[in-house]
A and B are shown apart, each in its own frame.
Chain A
Amino acid sequence: MSAMTRAPLYLAYVALACTLLSGAVSVLAVRRHPDFLHFGSFFFLFLSGAASIGAGVWALLAGLTVSDRFELGLPWLDWHLRIDPLSGFFLLLLGTLALAISLYGPSYTRQFARGPAAQPLPPLGIFTALFVLGMQMLLLANDALVFMIFWEMMSLAGYFLVVYQHQHTANRQAAFLYLLLAHVGALVILLAFGVLAAFGGGLTFDQMRVAHLSPLWATLAFAFAFIGFGTKAGMVPLHVWLPEAHPVAPSHISALMSGAMIKMGIYGIVRLSYDLIGNVRWEWGMAVLIIGTASSVLGVLYALMQHDMKRLLAYHSIENIGIILMGLGLSMIFLGNGHIMLGTLGLVAALYHTLNHALFKGLLFLGAGAVDYRTHAHDLDQMGGLIHRMPITALFFLVGCVAISALPPFNGFVSEWLTFQTALQAPALHDGVLRTIIPIAAALLALTGALAAACFVKAFGIAFLGKPRSRSVGRAREVPAGMLAGMGLLGTLCLLLGVFPTTMIKLMAPITQLLVRDELPSAAAQGWLWLTPISSDVASYSAPCVLIAIVVVFALGYFFLKRGTAAPRRAYAWDCGFGHLTQRMQYTSTAFSQPIRRVFAGIWKVDEHIETLASKGTIPHVTSLHYSLYTQDWSWLKCYLPIGRLVLAAANRIGFIQTGNIHTYLKFSFVTLIVFLWIVS
């Protein structure tokens, strides 16, 4: 019996071993044998991903909680490991992404083996492995020490991956900022554990679970945890590192970071507030809801102003983290007010969106990587027309765009719909203020969704549609099969999770059982076809029907309209009769977002520069006009820069201690002596 019940943990060990092997193999990937990375390392990563999926699914299906310990660490504190449905769920998420990038990586990393972007390969493999290992272990950790060790290992490995192409200044600056904030965040998390340990009388999670905290201390611990993990998750205003770090990393790493790493922040928040601290309070929920709303709206608004593809995606990670936090916040509010079922619904919505975001954001980053791989273009305003050159990549990228814009029948829509449903139950609360604030948050969520749609119309339209805006883009080719397979996997999952939500929600029942001792019995009450979170009278959604309907429309259109008609004739675009079109007449990304920039002016620090060059002559007329636009993040200008300046100013001030004059030094020790003598006598 024990073998069967402990199986998830053993599978997890297999995954860890494979990760280590993948790191070990890539040590051999010196310049002469790059295949050790391309095949050896990624092969083991594939196995590791598969194993962690297995472990996670097993733990979820069986609703098992298995723990284990090793004679490591401190003399009086072993390493405690444990796998339960929650960590299983995140292992599943992580494994899926690992699987995808291990399919995608072998071809993608060839650009580092030789050519202009050549880099030593072993670090890439080793730190990718350590990165994954850190995440797997922190998910399995069952005491604060192990958790912190591997939390920091994850951050550190991430640093080395961000700085991998270190000849670019941008990479170095981004990596430094990333590591700094990661370190500070980790220290704050440490404080949260410190509070729990002080009350629980020990560093193991089991001791913390049984600790009895006064509301004040519990709130303090939660605040520390929220700030610390929020830094990693990239919530506003602690997000500044994210849009710097994600774009400069290699794309499969960006996928892993944006898809998995920032989710570890969510995992931490859930683990601490629901599991370790326990009995959630609605005030926390308020904080989380407000921060989440701010993150989502600001994230998408900043994303709209970006024209670097990966930067844009990075800001959307902030937005989606905000949506997840909104779900969590609603769940906490309802739980705090004693509505267990609604709290469960919010939690499910949040976790569902976590998984969805991992899938489509991973997909989008891989797509951006594919474009970069063929065209070496990051700037949207240099792309265009790629749908003709890279049709399959375009299809997958489109799937990602539709999914992240929360459009039915894809997965992004389901989780946002669940969040809406949770929000709409606000009347169940007694507090009138909550009842008003929550729907407003919901409306802002709607705004976020609409803006996201706008942003991805821009991203896909400018990059893949229209005409190529630069020569290298015009000459692009489709990417190798491996990369397509990686994207295809994630794209398919996006569709499946969108069409069969009931199955997924059933799978997540053990998590809510573990955390809030409840699940959603009504969700699939009407059968797999109908998603009815609360009851069929309140709300229902049938994704399969939607999919079928659209397919049917296509079929009918084919039969009644297309069949028998001649093949369409091709001609110049009409364009209201204006003459020849050049690619320079197309809308650029900057132009596309101009109306929204005007509507929401003031959210950004916008500096526009227009330089006109007038011709000589009796009638001067403008010969050339150069327009440039910078949008900057207020939180950077108003928060981080001042802190940096403050520290450096203090450092400069304090220089007087080291004057170099020995008399000063002697006086220091003399005065110290006198003062102390005075104190004691």
Chain B
Amino acid sequence: MDRQLTAWALAAAQALLFIAAAPLLAGWLQRVKCHMQNRAAPAVWQPYRDLLKLTRKKLLLADNASWLFRAVPYVVFGATLLAAAVVPLIAVRLPTAAIADVIVLVGFFALARFFTALAGLDIGTAFGGMGASREMMVAALAEPAMLMAVFTLSMTAHTTNLSVATEYILNAGLVLRPSFLFALLALAMVAVAESSRVPVDNPATHLELTMLHEAMILEYGGRHLALIEWATQIKLMIYSVLIVDFFFPWGIATEFTAMALAGGIVAVAAKLMGLAVLLVVWETVMAKMRLFRVPQFLGFALMLGLLAMLTHVVLET
């Protein structure tokens, strides 16, 4: 019973840490990017400042915004928060992992996306409609690709429970699985698309031709925008942590001792920073692609996912 309590407490703590750390990752990403592009870099804490500022701002709503428009940020944030709560960040065997497995995780993202798109349509602007339409198209292609990658892993681990899967891979030690390689690539491409980074989308622009995600949330401001921005950062972090957990789980805590947990934190931080650097490199060398080349990009991801699954079935069993 006591152990149960500690587990739950740890789980809550991890979730809080997760959402607290998300802006930090974004900040770090921004900073590295600026360095790489020879620009003056903002502080790593900049995202926190932005969020705080936004929450303080007075709320301004478009005149025909409906109740849905005002509910959406909370739904989005709630869904993302849940997603964050079930991903093992520093330790496995945490009870919250049982709330939802990886398929439900995808479901949470879908929920968030669904309502964001509705919010985009609510005001009745052309941009909102455009954003919603394009976002749903991208999602429709990204989701099966992601699931194919995830299925490969969960078939290997005989589970869709994230924590259990991570632990399995951890215990299996270093196995050179071609399927994992393909799955990693697929998952990375999907992650790029889903967290609206270059080349699929460009978060740092408000140009009609390049916006996807931004177009939907154009009309938001104040605390609503804060919640959505935060949710976006959490989403990016979730994807990164997923990749880390699935493919380089080493260092994650398997028992609830202070030592192990500290080690877990350090390990995950290091891994995330490394991953961020890779992402920045990628974003710097790539250019934003035309909307209708995105399907080919994601189609390639889907193909990789299928390949991963096939190699798993054909070669590894």
A-side interface residues toward B, CB under 8 Å? 384-385, 387-388, 391, 394, 398, 402, 405-408, 413, 417, 420-421, 424, 426-427, 432, 435-436, 439-440, 442-444, 446-447, 449-451, 453-454, 456-458, 460-462, 465-467, 530, 536-542, 545-546, 549-550, 552-554, 557, 561-562, 565-566, 568-576, 578, 581, 583, 585-587, 591-596, 598-599
Query: In whole angstroms, what is the CA distance A531 to B217 when docked?
Result: 35
Residues of A contacting B148 with CB < 8 Å? 439, 443
Contact indicator per residue, chain B 99-117, by CB within 8 Å of chain A (1) or not (0): 1110110111011011001
B-side interface residues toward A, CB under 8 Å? 55, 58-68, 70, 73-75, 77-79, 81-82, 85, 98-101, 103-104, 106-108, 110-111, 113-114, 117-118, 120-130, 132-134, 136-137, 139-144, 147-148, 151, 154-155, 158-161, 164, 206, 208, 218-219, 222-223, 227, 291-292, 295, 302, 305-306, 309-310, 313-314, 317
A-B contacts, 5 of them at CB < 8 A, read A405-B114, A538-B161, A576-B218, A586-B124, A587-B129
**Minimum distance in angstroms from A636 CB to a CB of chain B:** 25
Closest partner residue, chain B, to A455 (CB atom): B136
User: A446 and B104: CB pair below 8 A?
Assistant: no
Instruction: Decide: A407 near B139, CB < 8 A? Known: A444-B144, A461-B121, A576-B218.
Output: no
Main secondary structure of the interface of A (DSSP, over half): helix
**Minimum distance in angstroms from A590 CB to a CB of chain B:** 11
Most buried by A among B70, B74, B154: B74
User: A566 and B101: CB pair below 8 A?
Assistant: no
User: A575 and B126: CB pair below 8 A?
Assistant: yes
User: B81 and A391: CB pair below 8 A?
Assistant: no
User: B82 and A549: CB pair below 8 A?
Assistant: yes
Query: In whole angstroms, what is the CA distance A572 to B219 when docked?
Result: 10
User: A465 and B118: CB pair below 8 A?
Assistant: yes
Closest partner residue, chain B, to A447 (CB atom): B144
User: B159 and A539: CB pair below 8 A?
Assistant: yes
Residues of A contacting B309 with CB < 8 Å? 436, 439-440
Query: In whole angstroms, what is the CA distance A553 to B99 when docked?
Result: 16
Main secondary structure of the interface of B (DSSP, over half): helix
Given A436-B310, A596-B137, 12 extra CB contacts under 8 A: A388-B66, A449-B110, A465-B118, A537-B161, A539-B101, A546-B82, A546-B104, A552-B78, A568-B60, A574-B218, A575-B125, A592-B132
User: B122 and A466: CB pair below 8 A?
Assistant: yes
Partner of A466, one of B63, B110, B123: B123
User: B121 and A462: CB pair below 8 A?
Assistant: yes
User: A450 and B118: CB pair below 8 A?
Assistant: no
Residues of A contacting B106 with CB < 8 Å? 446
Instruction: Decide: A424 near B107, CB < 8 A? Known: A453-B113, A465-B118.
Output: no
User: A576 and B133: CB pair below 8 A?
Assistant: no
User: A554 and B74: CB pair below 8 A?
Assistant: yes
Most buried by B among A420, A439, A545: A439
Query: In whole angstroms, what is the CA distance A599 to B143 when docked?
Result: 15
Residues of A contacting B133 with CB < 8 Å? 458, 587, 591-595
User: A557 and B161: CB pair below 8 A?
Assistant: no
User: B78 and A586: CB pair below 8 A?
Assistant: no
Residues of A contacting B317 with CB < 8 Å? 427, 435
User: A539 and B313: CB pair below 8 A?
Assistant: no
Most buried by A among B107, B218, B292, B317: B107
Closest partner residue, chain A, to B206 (CB atom): A576
Residues of A contacting B206 with CB < 8 Å? 576
Partner of B78, one of A450, A550, A599: A550
Instruction: Decide: A454 near B137, CB < 8 A? Known: A549-B85, A569-B58.
Output: yes
Residues of A contacting B121 with CB < 8 Å? 457, 461-462, 465-466, 587
Residues of B contacting A565 with CB < 8 Å? 58-59, 223
Residues of B contacting A394 with CB < 8 Å? 68
**Minimum distance in angstroms from A429 CB to a CB of chain B:** 10
Residues of B contacting A432 with CB < 8 Å? 313-314
Closest partner residue, chain B, to A405 (CB atom): B114
Partner of A451, one of B70, B118, B140: B140
Query: In whole angstroms, what is the CA distance A555 to B121 when docked?
Result: 26
Query: In whole angstroms, what is the CA distance A540 to B164 when docked?
Result: 11
User: B305 and A538: CB pair below 8 A?
Assistant: no
Residues of B contacting A541 with CB < 8 Å? 99-101, 104
User: B110 and A453: CB pair below 8 A?
Assistant: yes
Residues of A contacting B74 with CB < 8 Å? 550, 553-554, 557
Partner of A573, one of B107, B125, B302, B314: B125
Closest partner residue, chain A, to B220 (CB atom): A574
**Minimum distance in angstroms from A564 CB to a CB of chain B:** 12
Query: In whole angstroms, what is the CA distance A467 to B65 when docked?
Result: 10
Residues of B contacting A443 with CB < 8 Å? 144, 147-148, 151, 302, 305-306
**Minimum distance in angstroms from B218 CB to a CB of chain A:** 6
User: A573 and B60: CB pair below 8 A?
Assistant: no
Partner of B117, one of A440, A461, A562: A461
Closest partner residue, chain A, to B156 (CB atom): A427
5 shortest interchain CB distances as A-B pairs: A587-B129, A461-B121, A466-B124, A553-B78, A454-B136
